[in-house]
Amino acid sequence: MIRGRELTFRILLAEDNTVNQQVALGLLETLGYGADAVANGIEVLEALNRIRYELDLVDCQMTRLDGYETTRLIRQLELQGETPLDSRMPVYIIAMTANAIEGDREKCLAAGMNDYLSKPVLLEELKVALNRHGQIRPIVVAPDKASSSEILVDINHLREVAHDQADRLQELIDLYLVEAGPMLDGLGQAIRSNSSGEVARIAHEFVGCSLFCGVDAFTQPLRALERLGQQGNLSGADALLADVRHKFPRVQSAFTQLVQTLQTSNS
């Protein structure tokens, strides 16, 4: 059973990227919540068939069964009274999406979701969303995240996720780098083979993974690669990937400096 301030309830996290899962679980833990994690919509439905979860955090762009369709199926099961789901006590579903575009919130609500968070999910924004569920206190709008094209890594976000613990931060960074390398190689292979769909898929996953870890350095070129892949036209994709590859070692260096700084401050 999961305890959060004045409420005791179960949380289910649905996220198909391992790094994103760990970051989201870390944010929840920082706020005093535990959660069970699954990797896709099929596993969400299987979990809900076994356990009564009061709140679901659902990634919209999961493989196999995305967050939109998963939510629609949950609402259908609730109306049918499928145990342990019940329309009298519907699951509170918070969407998570890397596509912060106009109309996206409306799309989430139309699918039956209750709330919406854009990636990267920030600690204060998650806190507000959870408070909205429990009506624990009046809602406070979280401040806008400062942005700059020169920022490589959002240090504050990473430190929050890692609880200012050097070993935990190192574990998260190592996991990100292990996943990022193959994604970089996969993008290169997909571009060379003119596989636009694969470019869009990998770029989308890379954006979400990077944002969850506070990596701002190459968000724009990755989003541009995703758009090119969706449009089926990879003209200019090589230059965009070159930009990502050029900045990647600088991100690694920023990670190293952050870990060293945290180790020094904690010693």
Residue 87 tokens read as 């329309």
Asked whether the beta carbons of 206 and 222 are under 8 A apart, the reply is: yes
Q: Is the pLDDT of residue 134 over 80?
A: no
**Residue type for 123, please?**
L
User: So what's the pLDDT on residue 266?
Assistant: 65
User: So what's the pLDDT on residue 213?
Assistant: 87
Strand-pairing partners, residue 36, are: 12
H helix count then E strand count, the chain: 10, 7
Question: What's the rounded Cα separation, in Å, for the pair 173 and 263?
Answer: 14
Q: What is the mean pLDDT of residues 65-79?
A: 90
Among left, alpha and beta (phi > 0; psi -120 to 50; other), residue 69 is alpha
Q: Kindly report, residue by residue over 15-27, the tens digit of the pLDDT.
A: 999 999 999 999 9
Cis, bond preceding 143 (omega within 30 deg of 0): no
Q: What is the mean pLDDT of residues 104-119?
A: 85
Q: Is the pLDDT of residue 58 over 80?
A: yes
User: So what's the pLDDT on residue 205?
Assistant: 92
Residue 245 tokens read as 């590859």
Within its chain, how far is the Cα of 59 from the centroid?
7
pTM of the model: 0.61
Q: Is the pLDDT of residue 265 over 70?
A: no
Residue 101 tokens read as 């575009």
